[in-house]
Structure 1
Amino acid sequence: MADWLTPQQRSFNMSRIRSAGTKPEVRLLALLEAMYPADEIVAHPPDLPGRPDFVLPEIQVALFVDGCFWHGCPKHGRIPEDNRDYWEQKLRRNRIRHRLVAHELRNRGYVPVRVWDHELKSGTREARRKIRRAVKRAQLSSGL
């Protein structure tokens, strides 16, 4: 489907998309607060690689919530037909960056966990499972 906006209009629209305080982040925060005390959750720590959306610093778990479109979800991600090469490269770079960030976090003793937006929309069972598994790994590696 062809884009009906001019490049300038599309650029303006894209520049308005937030990177913090999004609906998926709010959903993830609500889930985390249902699982852990609020004072154990830190949002957007600037000192960690990749700037995780949330961190459980006491147990060293770094959490990211990824939008299906922006991060190329295998179930729901769709590459736009317009400017397809750009989007394929962008999503490829995102995946490479995710791997590098995960490696850097592990080197610092953190367990990274990525939750897809759709895992927070359609019930939270899968997201809870991912978080619990990451917490268990972190506790095992730290001897807690």
Structure 2
Amino acid sequence: MGTSAGGSSAGSRPPPLNRAVSSQMKRMPRASTKPEVAVRRELHRRGLRYRTNHPGLPGRPDIAFTKARLAVFVDGCFWHRCPEHGVLPKNNREWWQAKLQRNVERDREKDAALVALNWHVCHFWEHENPERVADEISHLWRALRYGGSA
């Protein structure tokens, strides 16, 4: 779930440290990352059906259960500042700090927009076990669709 290395959210993009770093950043996917696909496969295996990167919703949730109004995001540790694994690059540190902080702020803004539309929002980290994540999502999905505690 990476985002592009550029963007106006943190000012003009600084030059990459070297070509290898530049190439690595260009290869990072914005959607359908390995952790996200692992969660989706597990949900599908359990018989749950969903939409991916729903364009009609704020933040284009990674997984959206439209009838249950449940939006799921599988956040990358680097891009969303995981407290356990998020690291700040040494090169262009100030720029990256502003960029990543803006990502977190944008996450909260899209969450608020979804809640205002009466959606439930869940975030999981890319390092979390896909089966455990699917357990939580399945439980919440059932509670929202069929009543009960969520």
Give the paired residue count. Answer: 132
Aligned in 2, Cα 1:25/1:128: closer, same or farther, shift over 3 Å?
closer
Unmatched 5+ stretches in structure 1: none
Task: Please provide the CA RMSD for this pair.
Answer: 2.4
The one of 34, 58, 69 equivalent to 1:23 is 34
- State the match for 1:93 in structure 2: 102
- State the match for 2:11 in structure 1: none
Instruction: Render the CA deviation track for 1:48-107: whole Å, top value 9, x for unaligned.
Output: 000111101110100111111111100111111111111111111011101100000011
Q: In the alignment, does 2:141 pair up with 1:135?
A: yes
Larger helix share, 1 or 2: 1
CA distance in 1, matches of 2:43, 2:82: 22
Structure 1: 4+ residue segments shifted above 3 A: 8-13, 132-141
Higher relative contact order (CA 8 A, sep 6+): 2
Contact 2:51 2:63 in 1 (8 A): yes
Unmatched 5+ stretches in structure 2: 1-15
- State the match for 2:113 in structure 1: 104
Question: With structure 2 as the length reference, what TM-score do the two structures score?
Answer: 0.75
Question: With structure 1 as the length reference, what TM-score do the two structures score?
Answer: 0.78
